[in-house]
Every structure is written in C-alpha cells, then in structure tokens.
Structure 1
Amino acid sequence: MIHRRVSFRPPDVPQRSRAESKAEPSPTGTVKNPMAYIAALTVPIVALELVIDDRTVRLIPLLILLPALPAALGTVRQTVYAVGWVLIVITGVLIYRPLPSWYDYLIIMVLAAVLGVLCVLTCHWRIRRERELSQVRSTAVALQRQVLRPLPILTDQVIVDGVYLPVEEDRLVGADIYEAVASPYGTRLLFGDVQGKGLPAIGAAFAALGAFREAAQREPTLTALVDSLEKAVVRHNAFAQQTGEPERFVTALILGIDASTDTQAVNCGHPPPYLLNAGLVTPVLLGDPGVPLGLADLAPKPQTVAWFPFPPGATLLVCSDGVTEARGITGAFYPLEERLRAWADVSPWEIAGNLAKDLSEHTAGEQRDDITALVIRRTT
C-alpha cells in the first residue's frame, strides 16, 4: 500500500513566498491614491464657492468632510495629508474671500482641525483592527493547511486529487474538511463542511476529522463509522456549551470504496457527488439526505447506506457549497453540472485546475467561502 503526499495547487493560484508570509499584513481596505479623489472633490467645491456671488451661501465648510474618505479607505499618512490639504485650501479661500467676521473663520478652522484629528485616529484604529483580523485569518488558514492532508492522496482503490482554497478575504474563515484513509475495509473518504465560520468552527472540524481518522481504521461498517463521527460532534458541542460557544453541526459525505465495483455512501446533509464516466456526467442519486452530524437526535430514523456503481476508470467529483453556491456578478449560481459536461473529455487531473480558474472568473475574484473540491479517480 503506497501513500504519496504531494502539495497540489491549481494553476493561476500563486503560492506565497516565505518573505510574504513573514511580512506584516497590510490593511485590506486601503486605496492607492485617495488624494486624487480629495483633489477632484475640492475643485468643484472651491469653484462654486468663488462663482456664487452671495456672501450668505458659503460652500467652503464642506471641505471639512473630505478627510473622512482616506480615513475609511486609506492609510494614516494619507489621512494626515488630506487634513493638511483641507486646512490649507480653506485658509487660502477665506483669505481671498473673507467671512463677515473673524469669529466665523475661527469656528470653521477649529471644526476642521478637530474633525481632522478624529479622522486620523479613526484611520489608525481601523488599520490596527484590520491587521488583527488578518493575523487571525492567517493563523486559522495555517491551522487548516497543517491538519488537512496535502493532495493528491493515493490508496489501493483510488487516487484523490483536488483543490482547497480557504477564504482569506472575509472577516472569518470557513471550515471545510476532507480525508482519505486506507483501512482494512478499503478506502474510507470524508468530505464535510462545518456550520459557521471562524476558529470555533475549525475546532468542530478538527473534532470530526480526528474521529474519522481513528474510526475509519476500527469500524467494519460505514454506519458504525458515522455513529462514531456523530458522537464526536456531540461531545464537542457539549464542551463548546461549557465555554459559551454555540453548538454546530457538520454536513458530510462518507464514502466506502473497496474491491467491489459498487461504492457505499452515507449522506449527512451534503450535496451529492457527480460521476464522470465514458464522457458522461451524472449526479449520483443517494436518496433523501440524512441529517447533518450532531443532529441525529432530531432524525426520525438512523442513517442508512446507499450503494452506487463506481467502475474502474471512472471519476467522482465532490465539492463544498462554496462551489455550488458561488454567485457571479449578476447573482447567478455557478453552473457546476453544465461546466462538468463541457469538461467531460478533459483529463481528471485537469478538472480541479479548470474548476478553480472558472470559479474565479465566474465570481470576478470575490471568494466568499471555502472552495473545496475532490476529484476521486477509481484505479484499474
């Protein structure tokens, strides 16, 4: 029995360099040159101020609000420059076209200075908060990558390849999991998605993943394996309640592949896989999905095993809802089955790369959830 551990990354997804990984995370909401926008907004306000021949209508105080733009989208230095620019422009305009009294001038300058200081402090707080969130995301993603096994994975029955792209741009990371274990009963595969996001969700994912790795070697039947996973998630929820965390469930698909051409599956609320064989793409019918792991007490009947043909040379594609529920710029869901039919003649090892690239184009690069897809090839 051979196990091969090779890191897989689809094309057009560059890997971070060591220097980049050690560098301090940059603010995620900054723009390159907000001063250009400040100048563009200053020109019409000043022009109208000078054109309007009514000393009771003064537009120049509107410039006080301009530093709010770099405070929300720029850096602290850019915000300081914007505050200085506003003070200089207000002073120059009021010298050219003075106010009725010096008291009015003093009020405008004090307001501009006070709001400018508040904008600088707000920008500093925002950037510090973004860096803290970026560090949390980086830590969570590093934990995921260390616990999940690198792809591809080779066993006596299958070769498992795929793509795993945890979301790093959102406020919290997701918690997709996968695993393939070569057991005395054949190859057992787990593909799951934990409810919610963040480090608590990753904790539930690790609990399910650890239980699967241990029970896959021990339990002779797939239903007993699922029962072990259910107990692990329930135990984790009980511990989470003691620490004030909410209970979580795990949607999962568990497969059992042995020397037989028929494959066992237990569907715990997960989207069914797709079978690619002889140029045809068909969704695998597993019957009504069971309840997710952690909710077995709510189910009217225990989990059952479904059987489906998985002949040698065929390929299974299992993916998370980050793929099936990915929305384009028009709000349309990603047409996974349509794309798979277009790739029916493509090599199985190119499907994962094609999927990652096509998803990026469909969503215009706006990844909102973990993107995880496994391409399971039945060996001959």
Structure 2
Amino acid sequence: MAVIVCLVRDRRSAELAQVRSASEAAQRALLRPLPRRLGSLDLSCTYLAAAKEARIGGDLYAVARTGDRTRVLIGDVRGKGLSAVGEAAALMAAFQEVAHQHATLPAVASALDRSMCRYLTQFPDDEALEHFITALLLEVPDHGSVARLTHCGHPPPLLISRGQVTSVPSFPAPPLGMCTFEQDVRTSHTFSFEAGDVLLLYTDGLVEARDSRGAFYPLEERLAQWTKCSPETLIERIQRDLHAHTNGALHDDAAILAVRRTATPHAGRLGSEGRPMADQKLC
C-alpha cells in the first residue's frame, strides 16, 4: 500500500510540474518581459496569479514605442484564471497594432474597444454581455514634464512625486468590450509627471486583497513609506508586503507596474531579455 501511495503521489507531482511548466511558457509568451528602460521611462512589473497551479490569468500589461513617446496599457479581464487568457491575449495583440496607428489615446481606446467587440462576437449573446475589460492607457512623451491618461473603468494610478503619494485624477469611461456605448465618451487627462516621479499602475486584485480580518490592502499608506524607491525595489517591496498581508492567499489576479520618468530619454544597448546591462536600486 505504501508503494502504491508513493507511486500515485509521484505521478501527480509530475503532472502538476508539467502543468506549471506549460502555464509559465504561456505566460512568458503572452506577458513578454518588459524592458527596464524604454524612452524616458524606467519600468518594473510583476504578475501575481490567483490560480497558483496555472500561474496565469486575465490581468495584463504592455508597452509600445511610437515616435518620441511611450504608451502603456494595463488591464483586467472580468474573471480570472485560464478562462480570461484568451481575452487578455486578444487585447494585447490589438494594442501592439493600434498604438502605432492613432494620434491620441482616446482614439487608441476606441480602436481597442472595437477590436474587443469584434472578438466577443464569437461568444453566445448571453455570455458576451458578461465579458469586458477595464483598462488604463498612459502616454509619456520623451521630452517635457507631463503625461496623458485615458481611463476605461480601471482603478486610477498613484503618483509618487516629491515625497507625496496622490491619486491621479481622471475621467472614467466604460470598460472595453461593453459594445453599447458611443466611442466619443472617452477622453484624455493631462497631468504633471516630472523627472524622478513614479507612477504605480495596478489591477484591483492588489487593493482588494484582504487579510485574515477582512481588511483591504492599504496600498496608498504603504507607498507613503517607500517614496524614494526605484521602480524595481518598489515592486519587490509591494510583493513581499502583499504576501504578508494575505498570508500568501491571493484570491484575485494582480498586475503591478511601476513607471519612473528620467531626466533624459534612455539610449543604450539592452542586455538579455530586453534589459539593460546594468541597473541601480535607489531605495
């Protein structure tokens, strides 16, 4: 009996390892590693999946260079786990195309909305109405001290500037893929984003994570303690602190992306995986 139990356990462990390996490969294909430096930005990100066996879900992020500016997308597909992967992949693929084809963020958002509506037509009518994606679109020119934001039903980003943490004001519009709203309801908001400032973009799995008493993760309060951190160190601290807050039990996917503006656009050879040859932590 002991031998049989060991054989069954070993086989299940091997099957689980295969599932994890396949899901990690899929996640690397969908969420390709972002460069640490792009244009006038330093970047760092992480993805935390609620479905630990799958290690992949419906939260997403992507970046695109167009002319002398960088555009950033972060989004959250309704639902979690493998059922949301297809919609996340469709949106990221559409973003890489339309980010280069439109002059303004509202136009990019409208194009993404049309693309997702076309994608959702493959679902039965009763299911399509339940599918949508909240998203934020960010645009940062290489020169100047401003950035632009288009809000599609997503949690607003937090700005760390001169030791203070504030929520970036925006004008919410419907999520992508609702297919029942006029396209011209989407607008962009311009705000100050100076050299040294850091923007934290995230999905609601971060701020809705609860501890054993049911208290939400106090993101803004935590950021106030880490205002001098580099993007990479900031992400590392949030990830460790979130794990401690939830005791390792995350009930929704969470994507986190930190963006710091530099004084001048980066120019230099990237190392492996699209990363620079060297990087410094400033926290």
TM-score, structure 1 normalization: 0.61
Contact 1:140–1:198 (Cα < 8 Å) also in 2:
no
CA contact (8 A) 1:137 1:168 kept: no
Of 329, 336, 346 in structure 1, the residue corresponding to residue 229 of structure 2 is 346
**Local SS of the residue matching 1:239:** coil
Are 2:122 and 1:249 equivalent residues in the alignment? no
RMSD: 3.0
Are 1:270 and 2:154 matched, yes or no?
Answer: yes
- Whole-angstrom distance in 2 between the partners of 1:176 and 1:360: 18
Q: C-alpha distance in 2, partners of 1:252/1:207?
A: 14
Compared CA separation, residues 226 and 245, structure 1 to 2 (3 A)? closer
Which residue of 1 is the match for residue 270 of structure 2? Answer: none
> Using the alignment, how far apart are the partners of 2:192 and 2:152 within structure 1?
20
Assess, with a 3 A threshold, how the Cα gap between structure 1 residues 193 and 138 changes in structure 2: closer, same or farther. farther
1:299/1:135 CA distance change after superposition, 3 Å: farther
Matched, 1:77 2:5: yes
Native 8 Å contact 1:133 1:171 kept in 2: no
Pairing 1:158-197 to 2, within 5 Å after superposition: 158-169=41-52, 173-184=56-67, 186-197=69-80
Report % sequence identity: 39
Question: Unmatched 5+ residue regions in structure 2?
Answer: 264-283
- Larger Rg: 1 or 2? 1
Deviations 1:185-240 (A, max 9, x none): 51110000111123331111111101100111111111111111101111110123
Name 1:35's counterpart in structure 2. Answer: none
- Please identify, of 130-139 and 250-259, the stretch whose mean Cα deviation from structure 2 is larger: 130-139
Q: Report whether the alignment pairs 1:154 with 2:37.
A: yes
Aligned runs of 1:216-227 on 2, under 5 Å?
216-227=99-110
Q: Which of 231, 241, 247 pairs up with 1:364? A: 247
Match of 1:230, SS? helix
Q: Give how far 1:127 is off.
A: 11
Q: Would the alpha carbon gap of residues 141 and 241 (structure 1) be closer, same or farther in structure 2, given more than 3 Å must change? A: farther
Partner Cα distance (1:207, 1:281) in 2: 33
Residue identity opposite 1:147 in structure 2: L
Aligned to 2:82: 199
Return the offset for 1:367.
2.1
Q: Which residue of 2 aligns with 1:309?
A: 192
Q: Which stretch of the first structure deviates more once superposed, 160-169 or 311-320? A: 160-169
TM-score if structure 2 supplies the norm length? 0.81
SS at match of 2:61: strand
Distance 1:379 1:206 in 2: 30
Q: 1:303 to 1:171 in 2, by over 3 A?
A: same
- Per the alignment, residue 102 of structure 1 pairs with none
**1:285 to 2:148 alignment:** no
Shift of 1:131: 8.1
Deviations for 1:291-331, whole angstroms, at most 9, x for unmatched residues?
11001424696211111111111110111112111111111
SS class of match (1:297): coil
Higher relative contact order (CA 8 A, sep 6+): 2
| Structure-2 change in CA distance of 1:358 and 1:167 (3 Å) | same
**Contact in 1 for aligned 2:152/2:174 (Cα 8 Å):** yes
Q: CA deviation at 1:128?
A: 8.7
8 Å contact from structure 2 (residues 51, 81) kept in 1? no
Aligned residues: 260
Moved segments of 4+, more than 6 Å: 126-134
The 8 Å contact of residues 141 and 168 in structure 1, kept in 2 or not, is answered as no
> Partners in 2 of 1:155 and 1:366 — Cα distance?
33
* Residues 34 and 44 in structure 2, CA contact (< 8 A), matched pair in contact too: yes
* 1:77–1:295 Cα change, 3 Å: same
Q: Is the 8 A contact 2:43 2:231 kept in 1?
A: no
Structure 2 contact 66–100 (Cα < 8 Å) conserved: yes
Question: Is 1:325 equivalent to 2:253 in the alignment?
Answer: no
Distance of 1:314 and 1:136 partners within structure 2: 40
The secondary structure found in structure 2 opposite 1:193 is strand
